[in-house]
Amino acid sequence: MGLRRFCSVVVLAGGVLGGSVSSGFSAKDTAVTSSGLPVPRYVSLKSDHVNVRAGPTKDNDVAWVYTRSGLPVEITAEFENWRRVRDSEGAEGWVYHSLLSGRRTAVITMKNKDDLAPIYDRADPASPVAARLQVGVVATVKHCAAGWCRIGGNGFDGWIEQQRLWGVYADEKVD
């Protein structure tokens, strides 16, 4: 279920485009594109209705529709004003650039989907637990450094181990 709890997936033609969740990408090992921004990079959805297409033009069929703004996606390629994105479940497709935001968000991940992720008062596992979040919760990324990220959302604010987030790279610093 995961991301699909938050999205209505509408398969209009051709089925869902496959892909694999990125691992091993490093923010420092990126190529610069015509937009002047590195690829790969994480962004979020700007709108509650984002068409994901099979290719980088409006002539391509809509493969599915995201229906929740703020979801993190990874840009894996650019073609003119189109961005190929990958979500936390590995699905890939093309989105028009104006439907994406530079606002950083992330999805909570755990090895066991039934586990709750602890959110700490400080970037220290010995500090008090401020909250426990379910897998799939989307949080705003406020700051990341030294393996910890400060995140916030509806009813929570605190620190989480960076490895528990999909939407930031392992060694990435976010200010």
pLDDT tens digits, one per residue of 134-153: 999 999 999 999 999 999 99
**Res 99 pLDDT > 60:** yes
Asked whether the domain spanning 107-166 has the same topology as the one spanning 2-20+32-103, the reply is yes
Radius of gyration of the chain (CA): 16
Structure confidence at residue 26 (pLDDT): 47
As its CATH architecture, domain 107-166 has: Roll (2.30)
Side-chain-facing half-sphere of 101: CA atoms under 13 Å: 15
In this prediction, what percent of the chain has a pLDDT beyond 90?
Answer: 79
Closest to 43 (Cα-Cα) out of 109, 101, 108, 106: 101
The pLDDT, as a whole number, for residue 34 is 77
- Which residue has 């700490």 as its token pair? 120
pLDDT digits (tens, 9 = 90+) for 23-65: 344 444 566 687 899 999 999 999 999 999 999 999 999 999 9
Query: Is residue 120 scored above 50 in pLDDT?
Result: yes
2-20+32-103 CATH choice from 2.30.30.40, 3.40.190.10, 2.40.110.10, 3.30.465.10 = 2.30.30.40
Q: Answer whether residue 10 shows pLDDT above 50.
A: no
pTM here is: 0.82
List the domain boundaries for the chain: 2-20+32-103, 107-166
Give the whole-angstrom CA distance, residue 84 versus residue 97. 9
